[in-house]
Amino acid sequence: MKPALTQRQLVPPLSWLELPMGDWLAAEIQERLDLWCPLLFGYHLLKLGALSGRLSCNGSAIRHQSCVGTEGDNVGILAELTALPIRDLSIDACLLAHTLDYVADPHQVLREVERVLTADGWLLISGFNPHSLVGLGRLLPKLRQQQPWHARMFSPERLRDWLELLGFEVIHFEAFGFSSFSSGCRIHWWRENLGRDYCSYFASVYMLAARKRTVPLTLEPERRWARKPQIVPGMARI
């Protein structure tokens, strides 16, 4: 298993159009966001990365929405994702659309997300699956420097482990995109339907929704209730 921390220079896309079939991918993710956003409530929603900022969360009741990243014309807060300039427990929902695929230290990014999220806050993540057709493309040296094969691609199982260690509970998971994402490739509805039913493990893209769960560090001492004296008929009272 490759280490999470890398020294490799990563070039994240600033627009969905920089990815092969990026318009289709953005539309699929947006369709799922439109279903999940009505579940989001609170005051502040944070989008991490330029790709996240290109997606709409207007279906949510959260009106104050900001995008943070290192570059991009749609980024409102210029900052490193590994050191968010946001106070603890102040964000109600976070969106990471393929953000972890293009960061050198995904562990630290998730730790920062956990820090700024409120209790029961929502975390929405999408990413490329290395155990898929798009993941196989990384085995070809010619493709490694191109999008999307330049991405790091962490498996859903590994991401679940990271989230569990940070105290998140995965509420919903979905996989789609049974394609190599190479130029000229098309998505067929019959392939998508068959893939979801029989081989979702090999889908090229996945999305999950998780919530931050908090457990008290100290247990309340057991309350000892004084037992009332029982009165037995015929027993003399003292």
Single-letter amino acid, residue 152: R
C-alpha 108 chain-centroid distance: 14
* Domain membership flag for residue 77: yes
* Domain membership flag for residue 216: no
pLDDT of residue 101: 97
pLDDT of residue 81: 97
pLDDT of residue 158: 97
pLDDT of residue 232: 55
When divided into structural domains, the chain yields a total of: 1
pLDDT of residue 56: 97
* Domain membership flag for residue 86: yes
* Domain membership flag for residue 192: yes
Please answer whether residues 110 and 22 qualify as being in contact, where contact means their C-beta atoms are separated by less than 8 angstroms. Answer: no
* Domain membership flag for residue 189: yes
pLDDT of residue 3: 76
> What CATH number should be reported for the domain holding residue 78?
3.40.50.150
pLDDT of residue 199: 77
Listed in sequence order, the residues at least 6 apart from 8 whose beta carbon sits closer than 8 Å to its beta carbon are 104
Listed in sequence order, the residues at least 6 apart from 68 whose beta carbon sits closer than 8 Å to its beta carbon are 46, 47, 48, 75, 76, 77, 78, 79, 81, 84, 86
Listed in sequence order, the residues at least 6 apart from 124 whose beta carbon sits closer than 8 Å to its beta carbon are 33, 36, 93, 94, 95, 96, 97, 207, 208, 209
Single-letter amino acid, residue 202: F
pLDDT of residue 231: 55
* Domain membership flag for residue 185: yes
Give the global pTM.
0.86
Q: Which domain holds residue 72?
A: 16-210
* Domain membership flag for residue 137: yes
Residuewise pLDDT in 10s, the chain (238 residues): 567 899 888 999 999 999 999 999 999 999 999 999 999 999 999 999 999 999 999 999 999 999 999 998 999 999 999 999 999 999 999 999 999 999 999 999 999 999 999 999 999 999 999 999 899 888 888 888 899 999 999 999 999 999 999 999 999 999 998 877 766 566 666 566 666 666 788 999 999 999 999 865 455 555 554 555 555 555 555 4
* Domain membership flag for residue 4: no
